[in-house]
Amino acid sequence: MSLRKSMVNRGLLILTCFFSFVIQLCLASKTRHFKWEVEYMYWSPDCMEGVVMGINGQFPGPTIRAVAGDTIVVELTNRLHTEGVVIHWHGIRQFGTPWADGTASISQCAINPGETFIYRYKVDKAGTYFYHGHYGMQRSAGLYGSLVVEVGEGQKEPFHYDGEFNLLLSDWWHKGSQEQEVALSSKPFRWIGEPQTLLINGRGQYNCSLAAHVTNSSSPQCQFRGNEQCSPQILHVQPHKTYRLRVSSTTALASLNLQIGNHKMVMVEADGNYIQPVAVDDLDIYSGESYSVLIHTDQDPSKNYWISVSVRGREPKTPQGLTILNYQTTSASKLPTSTPPVSPLWNDYNHSKSFSNKILALMGSPKPPTTYNRRIILLNTQNTINGFTKWAINNISLTLPPTPYLGAIKHRLSNAFDQKSPPENFPNDYDVMKPPTNTNSTYGNGVYMLEFRTTVDVILQNANALATGVSEIHPWHLHGHDFWVLGYGEGKFREKDAKRFNLKNPPLRNTAVIFPFGWTALRFVADNPGVWAFHCHIEPHLHMGMGVVFAEGVHLVKDVPNHALACGLTGKMLMSNYSHH
Ligand SMILES: *[C@@H]1O[C@H](CO)[C@@H](O)[C@H](O)[C@H]1NC(C)=O
Ligand SMILES: *[C@@H]1O[C@H](CO)[C@@H](O)[C@H](O)[C@H]1NC(C)=O
Ligand SMILES: *[C@@H]1O[C@H](CO)[C@@H](O)[C@H](O)[C@H]1NC(C)=O
Ligand SMILES: *[C@@H]1O[C@H](CO)[C@@H](O)[C@H](O)[C@H]1NC(C)=O
Ligand SMILES: *[C@@H]1O[C@H](CO)[C@@H](O)[C@H](O)[C@H]1NC(C)=O
Ligand SMILES: *[C@@H]1O[C@H](CO)[C@@H](O)[C@H](O)[C@H]1NC(C)=O
Ligand SMILES: [Cu+2]
C-alpha cells in the first residue's frame, strides 16, 4: 500500500534522473533509483575461474554515484537460490532510516530468495564510500561495490583536481565463502589461510604476475588484450594534472599498503571526512576504511608507473596486487621498466602507527565534546567455547539472534535477546600482554543501550590472542555514526592516558584500527535513533563473534517497513496483528 503510493510519487523525477545520469548531471532530480539482482555467477577475478556473488551480472557490483542530499533507492532482489541476503551502505549514517542499514539480525530480516527489499536512504555527506553484504560471509563471496557522493550543488571540495579514479581494494580466496564459514566454525578450528590474490576493482592476477615481466621470476607472463575479467584496469592520465584517487578497502582479512611508483600522495579525505592534507610515499589502509589522495602527474611522461598494493600486519603469502598509471603521452601497454615499489616490512608497526597518527581533522571540522557521559572499555580476546575457537569482547562472543534488534527493541519483545547489559569493562587483574589463563568465554547477544544524545567514549583494548606473543590488528567499524579518534596507545589503557587525548583536531571516521598489544580511544555522540553494529571489519573475526551492538533512541524510530520485520518474533507479531484486524 505505502509502497505503491511512494512509487507513484517518484514517477517523473526518476525519469529525468535516468536519462541525465549518463552525462553525470542530475540537477532536477534528487532521487536515484536502482534495480539490482544479486546472484552467484562464474567469474575469473584473478584469471582463475570461480564463483562470485555479483549484482546485475557485474563483479564488483555497479558503482553508485550521487550528490550530497540525494535519496538513493535500491530495489534489491535476491536471486541466490538457497540463502538470504542484505546490503550494508558502509559510511552512510542512515539518519531517520536505521532499518536501511543492511545488517541482518540487527536492522532487518535477511531478504529471502526470490524476494525484493527496497532500501531508501539519504546520502547526506560527500565522500568516498562503498557497500557490501552483511550476512554470513557474503562480503568474502564478492558482494561489494563503490558508492561515491559528490558535493552538493554550489558547494566546493576544499581542494582542486582535474580528474578522478576509483580504487576498490579487496582480497580473494579460491576456497568459497561457504567452505570458509564451515572451516572457521569447525572443531578443531581450521584457519582459512591467507588470500590467494589481492584485487584492484575486482581484478587480480594469480599465477601470472605482471611483475614477472620485469623481474626474473619464473612464473608465466600473462598477456592481456584488456577485455579479460582479470586484466588490470589501467589509470590513464595526462601530464601536469592533479588526480583524485578514491581508495577504499573491503578486504575480508588483509590490511593493505598502497604505493604509486615515483609519485607522492597527498591525503585529503578519510571515511567521508576531510583531513589536513598530508603527503605520504605509501598509504596503509585497513578493511572498512576509505581515503582520497591527490597525485600530481609531474614525472617523466614517456614512462608508465606501477600502482601496487601489498599485505601488512600478517606475514604476507599473497603477491602484490598491481596496476599501471599510464601517462597518455606513452603507450599504455608498455610496462614500467623498474620493479614495483617495495612496501614497508609487514611487521613494521612503527611505520603504521606513525602513519595513523598523521591523520588529523581539517581545520574547521566538527570538534568532539570536551567530556563524555559514559566510557565503555572493550577488551578484545581470542578464546575457546566448548573447544571452538572464538573472539570475545569483555569475555562475550557475539552470536546474532533470529529476531532483528531494531524491531525487537521498538516493540519491546523482551524474549528476543539477552536483556542484561554486557560488561563495560574487564577484570582489573586480566593481563593483556599474556594469553588468557582460562581460555573459556561465553556466547551472548546483549545490547549496550545508550542514552539518546549522550557522549560515549569507547576504549578498544587489544590483548594477547591464544598463542603466546601474538596480538592481531583489528579495524573496528561503527554503523550509524562517525567517531572522533582521540588517540592510540601501547599496552593497557590507564586513566592517565586520557590526559593525552587529542581534543583539538581528532579525525572523524567510521573505522579505526587497534594495533597489536595496544589501545585506541574513540568518542561519539549517540544522536542517531536506531540499533547499530560496532565490530571488527575482518570478516572471519566477526564471524567468530568479534562485535557488539549499540542502541539509542529506538522509541523515536518511525516507519520501519514490515518487510524488515518479517522474521523471528517480530514476524510472529506481524502475523498476529494481521489476524486480529
Ligand atoms: C601456474 O602456471 C603454471 C605454468 O603455466 C602451471 O603449470 C601451474 O599449474 C599453474 N598453477 C596453478 C595453481 O594454476
Ligand atoms: C635478472 O637476471 C639477470 C641475469 O641473471 C641479472 O643481471 C639481473 O640483475 C636480474 N634482475 C633482477 C631484477 O633480479
Ligand atoms: C618502534 O618505536 C618504539 C618507540 O618509539 C621503539 O622503542 C622501537 O625500537 C621501535 N621499533 C623498531 C623496530 O624500530
Ligand atoms: C572450560 O570449558 C570446558 C568445557 O568446554 C570445561 O571442561 C573446562 O573445565 C572449562 N575450564 C575452566 C577453567 O573453567
Ligand atoms: C570468561 O568467562 C568464562 C566462562 O564463564 C570464565 O570461566 C572466565 O573466567 C571468564 N574470564 C574472564 C577474563 O573474565
Ligand atoms: C502489532 O501489535 C502490537 C501489540 O498490539 C503493537 O505494539 C505493534 O505496534 C503492532 N505492530 C505493527 C507493525 O503494527
Ligand atoms: Cu579482528
Each residue's pLDDT tens digit, 346-391: 999 999 999 999 999 999 999 999 999 999 999 999 999 999 999 9
Its domain, for residue 307, covers 163-357
- Do 133 and 167 have their domain in common? no
Which residue's alpha carbon is nearest to atom 8 within ligand 6? 411
Q: Which of 44, 174, 206, 207 to mutate to test the pocket of ligand 1 (most atoms within 8 A of CB)?
A: 207
Q: Is residue 267 part of a domain?
A: yes
pLDDT at 2 over 70: no
Residue 207 in contact with ligand 1 by CB distance below 6 A: yes
What distance in Å separates the CA atoms of residue 567 and residue 407, rounded to the nearest whole number? 10
Residue 9 in contact with ligand 5 by CB distance below 6 A: no
What order of strands is seen across the sheet that includes strand 321-327? Answer: 235-237, 321-327, 304-312, 255-260, 282-285
- Do 323 and 208 have their domain in common? yes
Q: Which of the four pLDDT bands, split at 50, 70 and 90, describes residue 572?
A: very high
Pick the last residue of a domain from 124, 150, 176. Answer: 150
Q: Is residue 578 part of a domain?
A: no
The ligand minimizing its distance to the Cα of 252 is 7
Q: Is residue 576 part of a domain?
A: no
- Do 344 and 475 have their domain in common? no
The pTM for the full model equals 0.92
Atom of ligand 6 nearest to the CA of 410: 9
- Do 349 and 220 have their domain in common? yes
Q: Is residue 7 part of a domain?
A: no
Mean per-residue pLDDT of the chain:
93
Q: Is residue 298 part of a domain?
A: yes
What distance in Å separates the CA atoms of residue 266 and residue 292, rounded to the nearest whole number? 8
Q: Which of the four pLDDT bands, split at 50, 70 and 90, describes residue 217?
A: low
- Do 188 and 325 have their domain in common? yes
Distance 211 CA to ligand 2 centre (A): 13
Residue 573 in contact with ligand 6 by CB distance below 6 A: yes
What distance in Å separates the CA atoms of residue 10 and residue 447, rounded to the nearest whole number? 37
Q: Report the number of distinct structural domains present in the chain.
A: 3
Q: Is residue 322 part of a domain?
A: yes
Higher per-residue confidence, 48 vs 337: 48
The ligand minimizing its distance to the Cα of 571 is 6
Looking up cell 517480530 gives 570
Distance 352 CA to ligand 3 centre (A): 12
pLDDT over 90 percentage in the chain? 88
pLDDT at 83 over 60: yes
Q: Where are the beta strands (DSSP E) in 451-539?
A: 455-461, 474-478, 483-490, 508-509, 511-514, 518-525, 530-536
- Do 505 and 423 have their domain in common? yes
**Three-class SS of residue 400?**
coil
Q: What is the pLDDT of residues 29-62, one digit of tens each?
A: 489 999 999 999 999 999 999 999 999 999 999 9
Angle, alpha carbons 50-52-56 (nearest 5°): 135
- Do 183 and 255 have their domain in common? yes
The ligand 2 site (C-beta within 6 Å) comprises 215-216, 339
**Cis before 316 (ω within 30):** no
Q: What is the pLDDT of residues 274-314, one digit of tens each?
A: 999 999 999 999 999 999 999 999 999 999 999 999 999 99
Pick the last residue of a domain from 330, 357, 384. Answer: 357
Angle, alpha carbons 81-86-88 (nearest 5°): 150
Distance 217 CA to ligand 2 centre (A): 10
Residue 579 in contact with ligand 4 by CB distance below 6 A: no
Among residues 158, 186, 191, 189, the alpha carbon closest in space to that of 173 is found at: 191
- Do 278 and 416 have their domain in common? no
Q: Is residue 73 part of a domain?
A: yes
Residue 440 in contact with ligand 4 by CB distance below 6 A: yes
Q: Which of the four pLDDT bands, split at 50, 70 and 90, describes residue 219?
A: low
Q: Is residue 12 part of a domain?
A: no
- Do 128 and 215 have their domain in common? no
Element (H, E) at 5: helix 2-21
- Do 175 and 279 have their domain in common? yes
Q: Which of the four pLDDT bands, split at 50, 70 and 90, describes residue 581?
A: low
Distance 416 CA to ligand 6 centre (A): 15
Q: Which of 215, 216, 218 to mutate to test the pocket of ligand 2 (most atoms within 8 A of CB)?
A: 216
- Do 299 and 431 have their domain in common? no
Atom of ligand 5 nearest to the CA of 381: 13
Residue 44 in contact with ligand 1 by CB distance below 6 A: no
pLDDT at 6 over 70: no
CATH number at residue 415: 2.60.40.420
- Do 98 and 177 have their domain in common? no
Residue 413 in contact with ligand 6 by CB distance below 6 A: no
Contact of 220 with 343, CB cutoff 8 Å: no
Helices (H), 377-498: 405-410
Q: How far is CA 145 from CA 42, 60, 142, 250, 285, in A?
A: 17, 5, 9, 9, 17
Atom of ligand 4 nearest to the CA of 438: 13
Contact of 88 with 479, CB cutoff 8 Å: yes
pLDDT at 451 over 90: yes
Residue 438 in contact with ligand 4 by CB distance below 6 A: yes
Pick the last residue of a domain from 150, 181, 197. Answer: 150
